[in-house]
Copies of this chain bind each other. A is one copy, B any other.
Amino acid sequence: MSTESLIFEKGAPGRAIPLLPALDVPEKPLDQLIPASYLRAEPAPLPEVSEIEVVRHYTRLSQRNFGVDMGFYPLGSCTMKYNPKINEDMAALPGFARMHPLVDDSLAQGAIKLLYELEQYIAEITGMTRVTLQPAAGAHGEITGLMIIKAYHESRGENQRNVVLIPDGAHGTNPASATLADYVTVELKSDKRGGVDLEHLKTTLAEHEGRIAALMMTNPNTLGLFDENIVEIARRVHEAGGQLYYDGANANAIMGITRPGDMGFDVVHLNLHKTMSTPHGGGGPGAGPIGVAKHLVPFLPGPLPAKDESGYFWEDAGPQSIGRVRAFHGNFLVLVRAYTYIRTNGPDGLRHISDSAVLNANYIMRGVEADYDLPFNRECMHEFVLSADRQKALGVSALDIAKRILDFDVHPPTVYFPLIVHEAMMIEPTETETRETLDSFIALMRQIARETRDEPQTILEAPHFTVVGRLDQTLAARKPDLRWNPSREPATVS
């Protein structure tokens, strides 16, 4: 496939697509309506292109991108499952997509009902009391949860609690959110089984006695392992006066099997763009609703969807609420997709999803374990982490392996995360893959292990068949070129 120039390099002066409706009110000079000093001197220097140019450009760009619809995407921690098309159709219904956020509740009965019920479903799935649907993503849920925890401690006069414990395997958003909430992060070590080191937890709790605000963790954790000590961990943190925050990025492993609420967590977020398959959209939008235990309900942001005999309505938050965490009602059209997904799958379907996700991960793990290091060799949940240490010794890194995978219409696993595994490769197949796909991925991983020994050069020079080769990241960071600029690159249009 040939390259594709920038939209700014296309078109010609004067080209335009008259997409707006024809003006049907008097065409008064603008400066009779607004003093000229407020107005632009020149039109914004946007592209001047025709419709066919726009269509071809973005169609071609799309063809330079890989998504779940093209092939296997076992990107650990991201739950890249099939995104049902029906969900897209429902989110595009004019009754949802063409709603103004400030209409009177009487004109939004379907929408508020949907959110009201979705809140209940999420509460049930996570084992929490109530839920806010405002957060736009997991990290937004995290900061919202931490703000709630903070407000809770303050309501009890415990303003001194400023420490958040975070396992060393945690995702970067966890410590970043803690900082944003004005907390100090203290890292918890993992033990040999890949779970929280109980001894280290004990000493850390003791060390920060009286100052523990919360523990944030995933379970299954970022190694894909379920921490069996979760009840004890929860008990100890609670005894130390801390709250437990559940990072739900890995919830695809547990639906109908176990619930964060039952494990002892006080706040839980779900990444609906992962677990509930609202598509990830190349990086967003997502939705990161959080559920809270009973004692934290008064602190939830508002308004919340409510219902009485006359119908559904938005209920303002109470006096202890932390307040809004964004404008309007959350990423509504994402929530419509999640609602559709939950209704389509039902309770047994969600359980079957998690069971199947776990099975698929274990199946691949057992298929590749002979060829790669498996730092924690026990049943995994919905994903697992390999190490390419053995390959690294032969000069082939996890990154190289990822690049070689690109040659086979398969998206590589997450690499170099979690940080606690050398040359980590985090593999999450999800439940929507066929056995054939899993088998061919296993075969590919084995082939690459063989190539590492027999023809490492093939790997080091990979990818061979992509539209671009390995890109110079250093150059990009050292001399940032973050936008097109007419002066530097004139649009050469004849």
**Which residues on A are within 8 Å of B, measured CB to CB?**
1-2, 10-12, 50-53, 55-56, 59-60, 63, 69-71, 82, 84-85, 408-409, 432-436, 439, 493-494
Q: Which of B82, B435, B493 contacts A52 (CB 8 A)?
A: B82
Asked if A60 contacts B52 (CB within 8 A), the reply is: no
> Whose C-beta in chain B lies nearest to the C-beta of A4?
B409
Contact B50 A69 (CB under 8 A): no
Minimum distance in angstroms from A50 CB to a CB of chain B:
6
Copies of this chain, whole number: 2
Known: A59-B69, A69-B55, A70-B56. A12 touches B409 (CB 8 A): no
Q: Which residues of B contact A82 (CB under 8 A)?
A: 51-52, 55
Give min CB distance, A186 to chain B, whole Å. 42
Cα–Cα, bound, A433→B15 (Å): 12
Q: 10 A-B residue contacts at CB 8 Å?
A: A1-B409, A2-B409, A11-B434, A12-B435, A52-B432, A55-B85, A56-B69, A59-B69, A60-B70, A436-B493
A433 CA to B409 CA, complexed, in Å:
33
B436-A494 in contact (CB<8A):
yes
Closest A-B pairs by Cβ, 7 of them: A52-B82, A59-B69, A52-B432, A55-B69, A2-B409, A56-B69, A59-B70
Q: How far, in angstroms, from A2 to B82 measured CA to CA in the complex?
A: 21
How many Å lie between the Cα of A432 and that of B435 in the bound state?
47
Q: Known A-B contacts: A12-B436, A63-B63, A63-B70. Give 14 more (CB < 8 A).
A: A1-B409, A2-B408, A10-B436, A12-B435, A50-B434, A51-B82, A51-B84, A52-B433, A53-B434, A55-B82, A56-B69, A59-B70, A60-B70, A439-B494
Does B52 contact A434, Cβ atoms closer than 8 Å? yes
Chain B residues near A433: list those with CB within 8 A: 52
Q: How near does chain B come to A4, taking the closest CB pair, in angstroms?
A: 10
**List of B residues within 8 angstroms of A69 by Cβ:** 55-56, 59
With the chains together, A60 CA to B71 CA distance in Å?
Answer: 9
Cβ of A14 to closest chain B Cβ, rounded Å: 12
User: Which residue of chain B has the shortest Cβ distance to A71 in the bound complex?
Assistant: B56
Most chain B C-beta atoms within 10 Å of own C-beta, residue among A51, A56, A85, A432:
A56
Give the nearest-CB partner of A81 in chain B.
Answer: B52
Q: Which residues of B contact A50 (CB under 8 A)?
A: 432, 434
Instruction: Report the Cα distance A55→B53, complex, angstroms.
Output: 28
User: What's the Cα separation between A433 and B12 when bound, in Å?
Assistant: 13
Minimum C-beta distance from A122 to chain B (A): 24
Residues on B with C-beta less than 8 A from A408 are 2
A353, chain B: closest CB distance, angstroms? 13
Complex CA–CA separation, A12 to B434 (angstroms):
9
